[in-house]
């Protein structure tokens, strides 16, 4: 028993002398991205899903959400089937309307064929990923075009993180 009390006294003294031992490592703040397409259930959903998975795999602190200007009630079957086959189940996903509140704390908005200037203004940088192949017409081709852009964006964000960037600046807009 005396040995246990002695160790406790030593640990307490160590914490008093070196307070940093008592502090948990501060979590890295997560940068947020909003992907916006017309219905919030196809291009933005694919982009956000792949973005989140790749960001986790790369260990970079970013998270994305999908939103729509005129949300569908559900995810189209071809998108559900394709994403399930890709290991990204979305059966419980409900498309949500893009609102100005979605910009709070967001670092970047990525738009698929949508003019968001009245909603976003100059609050947040906006990337325009317009005229990509239709996902509902050819899932694989559309998905691959989106995933290529997502990977480019993540490479840019990872590079910025390594250089000590605090809030991301929008990479060059691609139309």
DSSP structural state of residue 121: T
Whether residue 146 lies inside any domain: the answer is yes
pTM attached to this predicted model: 0.79
Determine, yes or no, domain membership for 19.
no
User: What is the domain range of residue 38?
Assistant: 32-162
Per-residue pLDDT of the chain (175 residues; tens, 9 = 90+): 455 444 434 433 344 444 444 445 555 568 999 999 999 999 999 999 999 999 999 999 999 999 999 999 999 999 999 999 999 989 899 999 999 999 999 999 999 999 999 999 999 999 999 999 999 999 999 999 999 999 999 999 989 878 876 455 545 444 4
In a domain, 171, yes or no: no
Would 61 be classed as within a structural domain? yes
Q: Provide the 8-state DSSP code for 97.
A: B
Spatial distance between the Cα atoms of 110 and 90, rounded to a whole number of angstroms: 20
In a domain, 155, yes or no: yes
């Amino acid at each position: 028993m005396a040995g246990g009390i002695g160790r406790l006294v030593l640990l307490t003294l160590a914490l008093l002398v070196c307070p940093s031992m008592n502090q948990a490592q501060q979590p890295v703040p997560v940068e947020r991205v909003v992907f916006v397409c017309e219905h919030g259930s196809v291009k933005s959903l694919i982009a956000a899903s792949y973005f989140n998975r790749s960001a986790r795999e790369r260990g970079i602190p970013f998270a994305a959400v999908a939103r729509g200007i005129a949300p569908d009630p559900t995810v189209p079957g071809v998108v559900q089937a394709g994403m399930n086959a890709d290991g990204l189940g979305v059966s419980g996903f409900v498309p949500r309307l893009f609102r100005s509140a979605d910009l709070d704390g967001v670092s970047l908005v990525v738009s698929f064929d949508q003019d968001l200037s009245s909603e976003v203004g100059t609050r947040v940088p906006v990337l325009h990923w317009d005229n990509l192949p239709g996902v509902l017409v050819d899932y694989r081709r559309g998905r691959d075009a989106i995933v290529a852009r997502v990977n480019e964006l993540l490479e840019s964000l990872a590079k910025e993180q390594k250089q000590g960037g605090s809030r991301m600046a929008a990479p060059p807009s691609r139309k």
